[in-house]
Amino acid sequence: MQVKFEFAIYDEALDKFELDENIYLYELDDEQKQTYDLLKSKDLHLYNFFQESEAFKKWIKEEVYPDEIGKKIAICDINEISFRRFYFFKVTSADTHYEYFKKLFNVLHESDWQNREDVGREILEHLLVKRQTLIIELKADILEEE
């Protein structure tokens, strides 16, 4: 089974993401396919699965961004499942993204007194931290000592 991936490149100096507009195809083995089917409706669990998969990281290093050790990236889309809101969220972003983050970050309010700008700023503060956990750094392989 092939899965479509899109990535964003992280610019550490500017603390900013830029969309890589290419689509990359990754072939899942049977075990990965089973896990993918299990997690495809589980949002960040799916992200974590790929983020921690050595085979997936090896594929990125060898085929997506070869010879770019040190580069920091983040997954934007896995097939139709999008994580773009984490990198490109703005206070004016659509209601779906806004409501998603209110729930994710437990942004509470007592009687809807907070306006969109206030809540949006709070979401952005949380996102500064959350984004860092989603970044995948392309590290050099560590040679095993003989």
Instruction: Using CB under 8 A, list all residues that contact another protein.
Output: 19, 82, 84-85, 88-90, 92-98, 106-117
Nearer Cβ to another protein (42/116): 116
- The dihedral through the CA atoms of 105, 132, 135, 17 has a sign that is positive
In the complex, what is the shortest distance from the CB of residue 57 to another protein, in angstroms, rounded to a whole number?
Answer: 25
Which of 74, 53, 63 minimizes the C-alpha distance to 135?
74
**Which segments within the chain are labelled E, that is strand?**
2-11, 16-27, 72-78, 81-82, 136-137
- Closest contact distance (angstroms) between CB of 29 and another protein is 30
Whole-number minimum distance, CB 127 to another protein, in Å? Answer: 14
**Nearest to another protein of 34, 79 (CB atom):** 79
